[in-house]
Structure 1
Amino acid sequence: MTELGHGANRSSRIAGFHRKSPQERLDLVAAFAGLDQGTVDHLANMGNLSPQLADKMIENVIGTMNIPIGIATNMRVDGEDVLVPMATEESSVVAAVCNAARQNYATGFTTSVSGTLMIAQVQAVDVADPHAARLRLLDKRDEIKGICDACDPLLVKLGGGFRDLEVRLLETLGGTMVVTHLIVDTRDAMGANAVNTMAEKIAPHIATWTGGRVFLRILSNLADKRVARAHTVWKLDDIGGASVRDGIISAYQFAEADPYRAATHNKGIMNGISAVILATGNDTRAVEAGAHAYAARSGRYTSLTRYEINKDGDLSASIELPLAVGLIGGATKIHPTAQACLKVLGVTTAERLARVIAAVGLAQNFSALKALATVGIQSGHMALHAQNIAIMAGAVGDEVDTVARVLVERKTVRIDVAQEVLAKLRG
């Protein structure tokens, strides 16, 4: 290994680091941080992702972070049975979807999508006559369409491309901004690269037409023209009766009214959604940002789901949120594990993928609310988490299940207790 020195003499300024191979970088990092050989060997093992591919996906690669992939069973979406891959490090997430879907398997989930439209924003400032400038831009719609579509002829050939134009006057601390929205159908791509290219291409023209200065030109992750919806009914007999139904509705009403509760409520929804997003190589941060912004679109942050009682007295549930996902481009197309997960799902369009993901989000939320309204969230979660604690305490093989079982029986899932149980087990 190359020695970089230790303590105060270490420097993070490493000339040509980005030009080195992953192994060379790892050797430098190991010397810098004083890593033992076991840690170095662990980082060097990139699992089922080749070092060459990893090195092309992001910068300065030294290893990979492997996340378990579980399968959500029992899911029936629009009359079709699907197995859903979920990549997550959090216990009980996959089990929650399986349990929720089992309880409404006969009904299943009905879904819809509003389309595959993405928004690119172009910001113009220092416009002398913003109201008149807005009209000038609207008059240029056909010209703008031609410029945008010329950026991606293949997208147009596939049925996508520029669809519409919106121009907003935004009052800010710096004065009135003229913000142009390019509405683009990105079809089976998430579409960030396509719409960003169009925004950058059109920006100089907008500066000329408005007489202002253009700064930002980039997509919006509040993809509110790309909304996915899912609905289902959980029958009273399948969920434990009216008291359980009423507890779930009360929990939803709490989240609907209180942003402190809504933040955790929606985080639970995203446990399921982000797990499918990650498994399929899509952008978890973009989807999460869009979902939370959508939850606050009324000016008050609230629940992404809705619960009510239908005419038969059963629990009717729905979810609605932006889901900008794709099947082509980025990690979705080049990561072999993402490709394998898409094969398991059997989806052939971005719209179908969004539909399934919305159903998963609703299932996840139902399970969380049911647990909260009955036995409490810790009962099921900690039973699964106990295995992680057992491993942290040093348990191996069959010891893991034995220690975890004792922790659950004692209702004390702590590492010090796990260490004590393990010590006794080993005599």
Structure 2
Amino acid sequence: MAQNSRLTGFRTLTVQERREAVARESGLEPAVFDALEPGGLGVEAAEHMIENVVGVMGIPVGIATNVTVNGRDVLVPMATEEPSVVAAASNAARIARVRGGFTTSSTGPVMQAQVQVVDVVDPAGARLRVLEARDELIALAASQDPKLAEVGGGVLDLTVRTVEAPGATYVVAHLVVDVRDAMGANAVNTMAEAVAPRLAEIAGGRAVLRILTNKADLRLSRARAVLDAEALGGAEIVDDMIHAYRLAAADPYRAATHNKGIMNGVSAVVLATGNDTRAVEAGAHSHAVNADGLYSSLSTFEKNADGDIVATLELPMPVGLVGGATRSHPAARAAIAVTEVTTARELGELVTAVGLAQNIAAVRALAGEGIQRGHMSLHAKNIAIAVGAAGDEVDRVVAVLISEKAFRHDRAEAVLAEIRSR
């Protein structure tokens, strides 16, 4: 991990100076950042990643600083177009450092694939027949990827459910697979397709769907942090942060935005490392539905006996270090090198810690000065650039927009015209 993630003044450095600082703390060669230059992913490489390629779209990549996970400092690449996200995560991580940073844990890298069997006349009986053939079906699935077992993974179990739907009862089998350092979609999908014909024969029906589930509730990552009350801004801020959390826990309208704040951090790290943002997002939002069927907060905020906040987050985290864009995208390889993680579990825990940091920052801002103060100040730069400001014109336009609290394109255009007319 990084020797020190507390890089004071990092935001005031030039891009080249930031690269040098990250390389120095991570023990990397500065050349690793060549992959993050415009054109780092060429059209020819992109042609091999997706279909009908016409170009490549750039997304800014920033470094979250101050992050400490399980006592070790780490510098975290984040790919996002939204202002304030990287700064907010860094600031919350700085507050968490006061009490030791983030502590994380996780379950094994277990994914599931589903096989749906339809037209079964005796679903309950079919379920038991499939379970009786469990060893045979597991062996068939395992034979599709023998190398997975060689590295300590493989098929762990086969479970069977009956699912009631309008006009039908489906027999649904789940293959439970330890996918090691892969995200695992290709492995479990291949297994599901291989066992489907035999499984349908045993059940006495017809196989339709044979695909993984993104409800990765057997592959969980967890993070927690103790937030010093004084560092947060005092007892009143603490109480108001607890109120903000409680509304998110009770009200789906608040929970949707509360959880979006978490995903601002999560998706930025997942994207930077070449993982599947949609899979992680789908799993997270399904996990947000509580036992009563209510869409609720993914995180929890509690006040401990010392008056500090204990913040926790648990997420399904299907991310990997092998396969897909994690290997084929040069920027993803560079981002993973910066994090210095060596296993998919470690990456998942880091992603979850950053998601919690982002959540802490957002809730603290909402409980204090409001979200717009910092966010719109950064957004003003986007507005200035959008209306054509260049060089020192950007800072001059931004200064006026902030002083007037007028974050509008028409006002930015007028300010720029005034500057140029002098």
Contact 2:84–2:378, Cα closer than 8 Å, also in 1: yes
1:297 and 1:179 mapped to 2: Cα distance?
23
Q: Which residue of 2 aligns with 1:366?
A: 360
Matched, 1:242 2:221: no
Q: Which residue of 1 aligns with 2:20?
A: none
Give the C-alpha shift of residue 174 in structure 1. 2.9
1:381 and 1:305 mapped to 2: Cα distance?
22
Contact 2:42–2:56, Cα closer than 8 Å, also in 1: no
Q: RCO greater where, 1 or 2, for CA within 8 Å and sep 6 or more?
A: 2
2:366 and 2:156 mapped to 1: Cα distance?
44
Unaligned runs of 5+ in 2: 1-36
Alignment TM-score, normalising by the size of structure 2: 0.90
Contact 2:119–2:205, Cα closer than 8 Å, also in 1: yes
2:154 and 2:396 mapped to 1: Cα distance?
58
Compare 135-144 and 204-213 and name the one that shifted more. Answer: 135-144
2:332 and 2:396 mapped to 1: Cα distance?
34
Matched, 1:256 2:249: yes
| Partner deviation per Cα, 1:276-322 (whole Å, 9 max, x = no partner) | 00000000001001100110142110000000011211100000110
Q: Which residue of 1 aligns with 2:70?
A: 78
2:188 and 2:167 mapped to 1: Cα distance?
26
1:46 and 1:370 mapped to 2: Cα distance?
35
Q: Which residue of 2 aligns with 1:401?
A: 395
Q: Secondary structure at the match of 1:104?
A: helix
2:414 and 2:321 mapped to 1: Cα distance?
49
2:384 and 2:203 mapped to 1: Cα distance?
64
Runs of at least 4 residues off by over 4 Å: none
Q: Which residue of 2 aligns with 1:115?
A: 108
Specify which of 180, 204, 214 is matched with residue 207 of structure 2: 214
Q: Which residue of 2 aligns with 1:147?
A: 140
1:407 and 1:210 mapped to 2: Cα distance?
67
Q: Which residue of 1 aligns with 2:123?
A: 130
Task: Give the aligned residue type for 1:96.
Answer: A
1:179 and 1:364 mapped to 2: Cα distance?
37
Q: Which residue of 1 aligns with 2:386?
A: 392
Q: Secondary structure at the match of 2:111?
A: strand
Specify which of 278, 282, 289 is matched with residue 285 of structure 1: 278
Q: Which residue of 2 aligns with 1:64?
A: 56
Trace 1:275-424 onto structure 2 (pairs within 5 A). Answer: 275-298=268-291, 299-424=293-418
1:204 and 1:158 mapped to 2: Cα distance?
28
Q: Which residue of 1 aligns with 2:23?
A: none
1:275 and 1:405 mapped to 2: Cα distance?
28
Specify which of 43, 47, 51 is matched with residue 51 of structure 1: 43
Task: Give the aligned residue type for 1:256.
Answer: A
Task: Give the aligned residue type for 2:44.
Answer: Q
1:80 and 1:58 mapped to 2: Cα distance?
37
| Partner deviation per Cα, 1:392-419 (whole Å, 9 max, x = no partner) | 1110011111111110111111111111
Q: Which residue of 1 aligns with 2:89?
A: 97
Give the C-alpha shift of residue 46 in structure 1. 6.8
Q: Secondary structure at the match of 1:224?
A: coil
Task: Give the aligned residue type for 1:61.
Answer: V
Contact 1:46–1:63, Cα closer than 8 Å, also in 2: no
Q: Which residue of 1 aligns with 2:12?
A: none
Max radius of gyration: which structure?
A: 1
Task: Give the aligned residue type for 2:40.
Answer: N
| Partner deviation per Cα, 1:200-246 (whole Å, 9 max, x = no partner) | 00000111000011100000000000011000000111111110011
Pairs aligned (count): 383
- The 1:155–1:332 alpha-carbon spacing in structure 2 relative to 1, beyond 3 Å, is same
Task: Give the aligned residue type for 1:408.
Answer: I
Contact 2:148–2:154, Cα closer than 8 Å, also in 1: yes
The alignment-based identity, stated in percent, is: 59
- The 1:369–1:46 alpha-carbon spacing in structure 2 relative to 1, beyond 3 Å, is closer
Matched, 1:172 2:165: yes
Unaligned runs of 5+ in 1: 1-44
| Partner deviation per Cα, 1:358-384 (whole Å, 9 max, x = no partner) | 000000001000111111110000000
RMSD of aligned C-alpha atoms?
1.0
Alignment TM-score, normalising by the size of structure 1: 0.89
2:265 and 2:239 mapped to 1: Cα distance?
24
Task: Give the aligned residue type for 1:289.
Answer: A
Task: Give the aligned residue type for 1:83.
Answer: L
Trace 1:175-190 onto structure 2 (pairs within 5 A). Answer: 175-190=168-183
Task: Give the aligned residue type for 1:337.
Answer: A
Q: Secondary structure at the match of 1:366?
A: helix
Q: Which residue of 2 aligns with 1:29?
A: none
2:366 and 2:258 mapped to 1: Cα distance?
11
